[in-house]
Homo-oligomer: A and B are copies of this chain.
Amino acid sequence: MIHEECGVMGAYDFDGKDVAIDLYHGLYTLQHRGQESCGIVTNNYVGLYTVKGKGLVNEVFNKDNLSTLKGKIGVGHVLYGYTGEQSDGVQPIVSRYCKGSMTIALNGTITNYNELRSELEHRGAIFQSASHAEMVMNMVAVARTQTHSAEEALLSVVARLKGAFSIILMSPKKLMAVRDPYGFKPLSMGKRNNTYFFASETAAFDVIRAETLCDVKPGELIKIDDNGVTHFDAAVGKKPAQCIFEFVYFARPDSFIDGKSVYCARIDIGKELYKAAPAEADVVIGVPSSGLHFALGYSYASGIMYADGLVKNSYVGRTFIKGTDELRREAVSIKLNALRGAIEGKDVVLVDDSIVRGTTSANLIKLIKDGGAKKVHMRIASPPFVHSCPYGSDIPDRKHLAAVRMDVEGIRKSIGADSLGYLPIEAFKNVGLGDRFCDACFTGNYPDGFSEKD
C-alpha cells in the first residue's frame, strides 16, 4: 500500500467566532491522509494558541485543550509519518519573524528542498527539523525583509519552489492558501455563512455543513483578511498535473476533486477494468476499503454478483501483537477475515487498487482460497506501478516493486492468482481523468521534468 502525506485545513470567520471546533471536525475527516501526528493553531489577534502532538485527532485533542484554542483564524494539519526526523515536524509550525507570527501547514514535497535549504544555511539559517514547512517559513521570512506584504513574500517564495505542495499560511491578520503550479495535491475552498475554509478534501466541508465553493487552482494563491477574499496568480503557464492516485486511492470517496466525484470515478474505473480485463466468475469482491468501489463498478459492468467477501476488524489498532512465526499469518486474518458464506465453492474476482510489493495480495488470495473459493481472479484498478514519486507519495524503492521485478505472469504466479489483470493507462481518459493528471508512477512522464535515478 502506498500512502499520501498529510492533509491541511484553514478557517477564517468574518463574524469573529472561534473556528477551532470546525478545524477539529475537519481534521477527523482528513485523518486518512495522515495518522502520525496532528495539530491546530488559532489566532485571536491577542495571541496564538497551539495544540499539537503525536497520534490521531482522537488522541491529541480533548475537551480541555480544544477550549483553549481561541480565535477567528486557524490552521490545522494531519501528518503522515516520514521516516527519520519526522518527530520534530509536527505541524502546523509556528514561528515569529520580523513582522510578527507566521503559522504554516504544508502538504507535499518540495523537490528542490536540499538546494533551497543549503542556500538558507549559507546565509546563517538554522533548521530544527527536516520539515519542508520549516524551510518554506524561513524563505518567507527572508523574502519578507524585501517585500511590502506577506502575500508578496509568499508569492516570491512560491515562484522558487519546485514539486508538489498545498500550503496554508496564517500571518497575524491574514489567512492564505496556495497550491503548486501543477496542482499535484488537491486543495479546495468552502464556505458556511460568513466563515471560509480551505481543506485538502471537500469531505471536510460536508461534516461542518459548509458548501464547496471551488478548488484552489493550480498556481493560485487566495488571501483572506479584513478586506475580504483576494485571488492571486502565484505561478502561471504550467499544464495542470494532478495526482491520479488521489482518485485511485488517497482521497475519500465522498470528496470531489475539481468537481469530480471520487466515488463515481472509482465506479467508472471498475467498469473500465472489466472491459479491459473481463473474467468469468460467480462473485466479485473488493479488498476493503479501497477496492470496494472498483469491485462495485466491475459488477455493474459485468453483471457478476457483487458480494462482501472480506470482513474488516475495526478494533485492531497500531499496537497489535503478533504471535510466533508460524502463526504470523494470523495478523492478516484478524484484520481481515474471509467471509466463507460469500465465497465458498465459488469463482471469485478480487479487486484491489494496486499491487506494490505483492505480499499483501498473496496473503489475501491465500486467505480467500482457505475460505473455500475455487478460483481467484485478481483485478487491479490501476496500471502496473513501476516508477517512484518525488511529489510526496510514500512508495518503496523501485527494486521492491512487483511490477519492476516481474512481468504480469510472474506476478500472477507469485501471488497465487488464477488470473491477473491490470487497468490499462488509457482507461483513465475514458473516465474523464485525462490530460490534466500526473501519471508518472505508471508512465515515468514527470510533468516538471524530474529525472528518476535508478
Beta-carbon contact of B308 and A293 below 8 Å: yes
Q: Which residue of B lies closest to A124 (CB)?
A: B142
> What separation, in Å, do the CA atoms of A311 and B340 have in the docked complex?
25
Beta-carbon contact of B127 and A308 below 8 Å: no
Q: Which residues of B contact A62 (CB under 8 A)?
A: 319, 321
A296 interfacial contact with B, CB 8 Å = yes
A128 interface neighbour in B94, B207, B264, Cβ under 8 Å: B94
A276 interfacial contact with B, CB 8 Å = no
**Chain B nearest CB, measured from A288 CB (Å):** 10
Beta-carbon contact of A339 and B126 below 8 Å: no
> What separation, in Å, do the CA atoms of A62 and B320 have in the docked complex?
8
Beta-carbon contact of B263 and A126 below 8 Å: no
A interface residues, how many (CB within 8 angstroms): 85
Beta-carbon contact of B28 and A334 below 8 Å: yes
A227 interfacial contact with B, CB 8 Å = no
A209 interfacial contact with B, CB 8 Å = yes
Beta-carbon contact of A317 and B124 below 8 Å: no
A159 interfacial contact with B, CB 8 Å = no
When each residue 9-42 of chain A gets 1 if its CB lies under 8 Å from chain B and 0 otherwise, what string results?
0000000000001101100110110010000000
A102 interface neighbour in B24, B122, B126, B262, Cβ under 8 Å: B126
Q: Which residue of B lies closest to A64 (CB)?
A: B321
A110-124 with Cβ < 8 A to chain B: 118, 121-124
A237 interfacial contact with B, CB 8 Å = no
Q: Which residues of B contact A314 (CB under 8 A)?
A: 314
A246 interfacial contact with B, CB 8 Å = no
Q: Which residues of B contact A144 (CB under 8 A)?
A: 124
Q: Which residue of B lies closest to A56 (CB)?
A: B315
A323 interface neighbour in B25, B95, B308, B341, Cβ under 8 Å: B25
A349 interfacial contact with B, CB 8 Å = no
Q: Which residue of B lies closest to A66 (CB)?
A: B321
Beta-carbon contact of A319 and B128 below 8 Å: no
A203 interfacial contact with B, CB 8 Å = yes
A21 interface neighbour in B122, B263, B323, B339, Cβ under 8 Å: B323
Q: Which residue of B lies closest to A57 (CB)?
A: B315
Q: Which residues of B contact A207 (CB under 8 A)?
A: 330, 333-334, 337
Q: Which residues of B contact A142 (CB under 8 A)?
A: 123-124
A330 interface neighbour in B25, B118, B137, Cβ under 8 Å: B25
A338 interface neighbour in B25, B252, B254, Cβ under 8 Å: B254
> What separation, in Å, do the CA atoms of A194 and B349 have in the docked complex?
36
**Chain B nearest CB, measured from A373 CB (Å):** 14
Interface centre among A125, A314, A319 (most CB of B within 10 A): A125
Interface centre among A88, A319, A333 (most CB of B within 10 A): A333
A208 interface neighbour in B21, B252, B319, B327, Cβ under 8 Å: B327
Q: A254-B340, A261-B340, A308-B253 are in contact. Are A313 and B125 (CB under 8 A)?
A: no
Q: Which residues of B contact A209 (CB under 8 A)?
A: 327, 329-330, 333
A98 interfacial contact with B, CB 8 Å = yes
Beta-carbon contact of B263 and A308 below 8 Å: yes
B-contacting 9-mer, from A165-173, A299-307, A407-415, A433-441: A299-307
**Chain B nearest CB, measured from A392 CB (Å):** 21
Q: A125-B141, A137-B126, A340-B261 are in contact. Are A308 and B334 (CB under 8 A)?
A: no
A277 interfacial contact with B, CB 8 Å = no
Q: A21-B327, A296-B306, A305-B300 are in contact. Are A341 and B57 (CB under 8 A)?
A: no
> What separation, in Å, do the CA atoms of A170 and B189 have in the docked complex?
46
A206 interfacial contact with B, CB 8 Å = yes
Beta-carbon contact of B31 and A263 below 8 Å: no
Enumerate 11 A-B pairs (CB-CB under 8 Å) in ascending A order.
A25-B323, A25-B330, A28-B316, A32-B315, A58-B317, A88-B94, A96-B127, A123-B142, A203-B337, A263-B342, A296-B308
A-B residue pairs, 9 tightest by C-beta: A261-B341, A124-B142, A263-B341, A95-B126, A98-B121, A58-B317, A31-B315, A21-B323, A264-B341
Q: A122-B145, A296-B307 are in contact. List 10 more A-B contacts (CB 8 A).
A: A29-B313, A31-B313, A35-B315, A57-B315, A61-B321, A96-B127, A208-B330, A253-B308, A253-B339, A293-B308
